[in-house]
Amino acid sequence: MIRGMLRVLITTVVTILLVAGAFAGGYVASHTIFPPAPPPDGGAPADWKSAMSVFWEAWNYVRQDFYKTQLDQDAMVNGSIAGMVQALGDPHTAFIDNKRAEITRTDLQGSFEGIGATVEMREGRLTIVSPIKGSPAEKAGLLPNDIVLQVNDTIIQNMDVNEAVRLIRGPKGTKVILRVQRTKQDPFTVEIVRETIRTPFVESKMIEGTTLAYLRLNDFGATAPEEMRAALQDLLRQKPTGLVFDLRRDPGGYLNVSIDVASQFLKAGQIVLVEKDKSGRPQEFKAKNGGLALDIPMVLLVDGGSASASEIVAAALKDHKRATLIGTKTFGKGSVQNVHTLSDKSELRVTIARFFSPKGNEIHQVGVTPDIEIKLSDDDVLEKRDPQLDRAIEFLKTGK
């Protein structure tokens, strides 16, 4: 399973805006008289060969008639695959071209060159979810909910989020100019020098003035289990009386990582999730041995940006009554994707199953509801207040 949305997430839905309409256009009588001969079927299965002949007819008419002399065949192929996948009607089954796929692969490995901010597309507007701590974006003063109107000379509006990310990222030491809209303020321009961004999957600390530990997971990336285990060991050495585990704005990642993460808090053998394939056959995934934080009182923070793998962990901890969930309802991405890397390093992500909570509760398009709902307003973000964390601290101190 992969995360629903690049951390530049979840939301977790990727919209394909390639050349899916490459074959649309007029039709004239000359095509009936002199139709181009279709090429070989490209290895289509026998029961699909008749349909593929229509595809090749269309392909050749475009090559024959389109007014531009130079056709971008890579874009046409990408658009064809994207259109095919979109016809399935599942937003999480998607074709990702090689340039955008490299962005995702890099993010899940924890290092890239850019400004250091997670973003998502909200109603066609590129919105800052959170600057990474210590990044050029944070140093430049960017805040959550800032809207990026323009990157250098390119206006950002209804653009694919990965294409927007490609514009912002670039080699270390180069500059990018952003035009930014902030709530209740006039748009302003900020110039940022790109750096190599190493995104820690885990943040941890003792909460000042308390005996409580704080642990945040930013992404379910490849090295997250090792980072999280090391952070937990360090925190537990300080004898905390309670733990706040923060999965807010975490768009997910790898399925196996979600099991490793949940295993730090659940007893070995407890069910983490139930997966059902297209036949409806259930498969249980269970917690592993060696969890470090099996008994410490615990609050889990979640919100609408907690998706996919985050929801697996949230649902498991809730069903087993291992943690009290505080925040707002999670995103609701409860499907599993197989990721196929194609010959040109593009990716085809195919939904193969749905996952459910240990008790069999639906997550897809439903989400996980917190035990205590606390909302975070725009003013809270601007004023750097965190009533959700405050409520978690209060709960762990008082049990109420």
Per-residue tokens: 125: 């507007």
Q: Among residues 130, 263, 306, 308, which one is catalytic?
A: 308
The string of pLDDT tens digits covering residues 139-189 is 999 998 899 999 999 999 888 777 888 899 888 999 999 999 998 889 999
Distance of CA 129 to the CA centre of its chain: 12
The string of pLDDT tens digits covering residues 202-225 is 999 999 999 999 999 988 988 899
Over residues 310-315, the mean pLDDT reads 97
CB atoms within 10 A of CB 391: 17
- Cα separation, 352 vs 338, in Å, equals 6
- Given the candidates 2.30.42.10, 3.30.450.20, 3.30.365.10, 3.40.50.300, the CATH classification of the domain at 111-198 is 2.30.42.10
Residue closest to 219 by CA, chosen among 306, 338, 135, 327 = 306
What are the contacts of 281-286 at 24+ separation with CB within 8 A?
285/255, 285/259
The DSSP output letter for 220 is B
Q: Is 378 a catalytic residue?
A: no
Residue closest to 202 by CA, chosen among 261, 156, 151 = 261
Q: Is 308 a catalytic residue?
A: yes
Per-residue tokens: 108: 């899940």
Over residues 129-134, the mean pLDDT reads 82
Q: Among residues 219, 246, 303, 319, which one is catalytic?
A: 319
- Domain ranges in the chain are 30-96, 111-198, 202-398
User: For residue 153, what are the CA distances in angstroms to 81, 150, 166, 182, 397?
Assistant: 30, 7, 14, 19, 52
Q: Which fold has domain 202-398?
A: 2-enoyl-CoA Hydratase; Chain A, domain 1 (3.90.226)
pLDDT at 263 over 60: yes
- Cα separation, 339 vs 347, in Å, equals 7
Share of the chain residues as helix, strand and coil, in percent rounded to the nearest 5? 30, 25, 45
- Cα separation, 175 vs 144, in Å, equals 21
User: For residue 192, what are the CA distances in angstroms to 126, 340, 352, 395?
Assistant: 17, 35, 41, 40
The DSSP output letter for 171 is -
| pLDDT tier at 121, thresholds 50, 70, 90 | confident
Over residues 16-29, the mean pLDDT reads 22
Number of separate helices (H) and strands (E) present in the chain:
11, 19
Q: Is 306 a catalytic residue?
A: no
CB atoms within 10 A of CB 316: 28
The string of pLDDT tens digits covering residues 72-86 is 888 898 889 889 998
Q: Among residues 303, 333, 335, 357, which one is catalytic?
A: 333
The string of pLDDT tens digits covering residues 176-207 is 999 999 988 899 999 999 998 877 789 999 99
Q: Are 6 and 103 in contact (CB under 8 A)?
A: yes
| pLDDT tier at 261, thresholds 50, 70, 90 | very high
What's the whole-number average pLDDT of the chain? Answer: 85
